[in-house]
């Protein structure tokens, strides 16, 4: 019997920063006592990316940080706040009496909020003096995203990929049920309905679903695209930019997703699906079609194959909607923002540190130590997957200033296993992007209103899909969004849009 639909969705409040999560670590006392000369010290707060360290190591004691310190002549103290409520913890850190020298955030609203407060150090002069690699490797579009009134307030980390979602489906289930790979949204609906109702796994129990998505409407991009909309994007209409979340196309998409929910095609637990929960359902054979991340062929899909050797997964075309539309969202050029609090006296050292990561250290932090993690044979990378996984924590440091090197990306992804089709997945995504027309820096009104507007959108859309609110609530949402700061944001976005040479 299928799981019954939950009556309500849970939205978990973020926790306040604990003292353990926000305190600054220090090196072993004996290291300071035996140092022949004092070296520059910088304190940084970074995102752990969910990475774990091998036994006996931590963020401040490991070979990759030692490599960075040796080559920069600095001592680097690293704090990794828990991921839950990460930006809330950054808020607490910023208001402490002695903030660190560098904080990293992926949240543009957080960034612009502290720009508005005049709490961040302008970095133009430091970048000119100490950031040759940063200037050479970070594209102008990314610098534009962190520049406000001519002042650069962050060093951006660049998104290596232009989009992330691609549809994968169980070909063995299609074959068993006599179905062809779908193309139109109607064909997708028929396939997903069959996956939910016709016992594709053959266990005699109706315990599979045609589609599953993540909480907060994650992994819906491929289906939203069939209606010409994406989450958190801006599109041109009649010479002006309009927010995608309030367009009639979004209302159509929500109506469609609700219909899947009503027919028991969509996993009713979706409001509670975190990535590990969704991944487990994929691996256990409960879901046969979903909007995957491009790297899932190495993780959840591969685990599905290991659990069931008969499982055959194939990529599908993006569904084409009633008006011939299709596509997937495009990521922002900026992956994250590295900011220096105004109270810090070490902006120069921070820029030198990040310049090393963007330059000489980039390949090492992306690939790992040569001969330990990888070797090159006949122009191809041969990667030791056990060491690659063991040393994956190096990405915490490398992601601070990620840069784009297409040739290296292809070699690295093929080196992880050509059978996973990682580079092919990215190419398929690149060919189907729906471009977000707003690619300027976050506006002041975004800093004031974006958090509450995002919460309003996520909760409203989830209620509509799950049938807790009628589709007519979308119209009330549009009015509330505009009145609660959306109109102010729209005005600022269009002020940017009208600027020449953007």
CATH number at residue 69: 3.40.190.10
- pLDDT the model gives residue 28: 52
What angle is formed at CA 310 by the lines to CA 309 and CA 313, rounded to 5 degrees? 100
* Nearest-angstrom CA–CA distance, 291 and 278: 11
Torsion angles phi and psi, residue 266, rounded to 5: -85, 135
Number of domains, the chain: 2
Task: Report the Cα–Cα distance between both ends of the chain, in Å, rounded.
Answer: 56
Do 289 and 303 share a domain, yes or no? yes
- pLDDT the model gives residue 38: 79
Do 65 and 189 share a domain, yes or no? no
At 288 the three-state DSSP class reads: coil
Q: Does residue 13 fall inside a structural domain?
A: no
Q: Which residues contact 278 (CB under 8 A, 6 or more apart)?
A: 212, 213, 214, 219, 287, 290, 300
Q: Does residue 185 fall inside a structural domain?
A: yes
Containing structural domain, residue 257: 165-329+437-497
- pLDDT the model gives residue 22: 53
Q: Which residues contact 166 (CB under 8 A, 6 or more apart)?
A: 222, 291, 292, 293, 294, 315, 328, 425, 428, 429
Neighbours of 235 (CB within 10 A): 19
What angle is formed at CA 351 by the lines to CA 348 and CA 357, rounded to 5 degrees? 145
pLDDT in tens, the chain (502 residues): 444 443 333 332 233 343 334 555 655 534 444 445 678 999 999 999 999 999 999 999 999 999 999 999 999 999 999 999 999 999 999 998 889 999 999 999 999 999 999 999 999 999 999 999 999 999 999 999 999 999 999 999 999 999 999 999 999 999 999 999 999 999 999 999 999 999 999 999 999 999 999 999 999 999 999 999 999 999 999 999 999 999 999 999 999 999 999 999 999 999 999 999 999 999 999 999 999 999 999 999 999 999 999 999 999 999 999 999 999 999 999 999 999 999 999 999 999 999 999 999 999 999 999 999 999 999 899 999 999 999 999 999 999 999 999 999 999 999 999 999 999 999 999 999 999 999 999 999 999 999 999 999 999 999 999 999 999 999 999 999 999 999 999 999 999 999 987 6
**Nearest to residue 252, comparing CAs of 233, 275, 228?**
228
Q: Does residue 213 fall inside a structural domain?
A: yes
Do 206 and 314 share a domain, yes or no? yes
- pLDDT the model gives residue 64: 98
**Nearest to residue 151, comparing CAs of 129, 125, 130?**
125
- pLDDT the model gives residue 32: 45
Q: Does residue 9 fall inside a structural domain?
A: no
- pLDDT the model gives residue 231: 97
Q: Does residue 428 fall inside a structural domain?
A: no
- pLDDT the model gives residue 37: 61
Do 378 and 441 share a domain, yes or no? no
- pLDDT the model gives residue 501: 73
Q: Which residues contact 79 (CB under 8 A, 6 or more apart)?
A: 22, 23, 24, 25, 43, 44, 45, 46, 59, 100
Q: Does residue 246 fall inside a structural domain?
A: yes
Q: Does residue 414 fall inside a structural domain?
A: no
Q: By the 8 A CB rule, do 357 and 157 touch?
A: no
Do 139 and 117 share a domain, yes or no? yes
Q: Does residue 298 fall inside a structural domain?
A: yes
Q: Residue 391: CA atoms inside 13 Å, Cβ hemisphere, count?
A: 22
């Amino acid at each position: 019997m299928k799981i019954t639909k939950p009556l309500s969705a849970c939205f978990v409040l973020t926790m306040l920063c604990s003292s353990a999560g926000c305190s600054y670590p220090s090196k072993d006392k004996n290291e300071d006592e035996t140092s022949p000369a004092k070296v520059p010290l910088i304190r940084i707060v970074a995102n752990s990316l969910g990475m774990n360290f091998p036994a006996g190591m931590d963020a401040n004691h490991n070979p990759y940080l030692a490599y960075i310190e040796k080559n920069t002549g600095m001592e680097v103290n690293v704090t990794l706040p828990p991921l839950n409520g990460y930006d809330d913890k950054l808020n607490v850190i910023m208001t402490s009496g002695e903030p660190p020298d560098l904080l990293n955030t992926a949240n543009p609203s957080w960034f612009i909020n502290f720009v508005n407060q005049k709490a961040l150090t302008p970095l133009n002069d430091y970048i000119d003096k100490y950031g040759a690699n940063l200037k050479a490797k970070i594209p102008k579009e990314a610098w534009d995203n962190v520049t406000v009134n001519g002042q650069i307030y962050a060093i951006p980390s660049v998104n290596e990929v232009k989009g992330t979602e691609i549809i994968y489906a169980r070909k063995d289930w299609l074959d068993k049920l006599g179905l062809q790979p779908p193309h139109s949204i109607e064909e997708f609906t028929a396939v997903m309905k069959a996956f939910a109702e016709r016992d594709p796994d053959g266990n005699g129990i109706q315990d599979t679903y045609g589609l599953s998505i993540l909480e907060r409407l994650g992994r819906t991009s491929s289906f939203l695209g069939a209606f010409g909309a994406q989450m958190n994007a801006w599109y041109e209409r009649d010479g002006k930019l309009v927010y995608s979340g309030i367009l009639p196309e979004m209302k159509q998409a929500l109506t469609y997703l609700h219909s899947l929910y009503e027919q028991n095609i969509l996993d009713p637990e979706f409001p509670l699906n975190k990535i590990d929960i969704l991944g487990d359902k994929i691996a256990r054979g409960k879901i046969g079609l979903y909007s995957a991340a491009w790297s899932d062929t190495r993780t959840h899909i591969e685990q599905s194959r290991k659990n069931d050797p008969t499982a055959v997964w194939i990529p599908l075309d993006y569904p084409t909607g009633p008006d011939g539309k299709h596509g997937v969202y495009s990521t922002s050029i900026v992956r994250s923002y590295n900011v220096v609090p105004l109270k810090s006296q070490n902006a120069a050292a921070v820029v030198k540190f990040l310049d090393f990561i963007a330059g000489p250290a980039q390949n090492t932090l992306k690939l790992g130590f040569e001969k330990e993690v990888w070797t090159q044979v006949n122009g191809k990378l041969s990667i030791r997957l056990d060491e690659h996984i063991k040393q994956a924590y190096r990405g915490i440091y490398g992601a601070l200033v990620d840069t784009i090197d297409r040739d290296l990306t292809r070699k690295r992804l093929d080196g992880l296993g050509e059978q996973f089709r990682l580079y092919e997945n990215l190419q398929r995504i690149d060919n189907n992007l729906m471009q977000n027309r707003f690619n300027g820096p976050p506006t002041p009104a975004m800093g004031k209103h974006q958090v509450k507007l995002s919460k309003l959108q996520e909760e409203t859309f989830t209620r509509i899909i799950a049938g807790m609110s009628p589709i007519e609530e979308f119209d009330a949402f549009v009015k509330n969004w505009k009145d609660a700061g959306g109109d102010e944001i729209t005005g600022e976005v269009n002020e940017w849009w009208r600027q020449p040479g953007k």
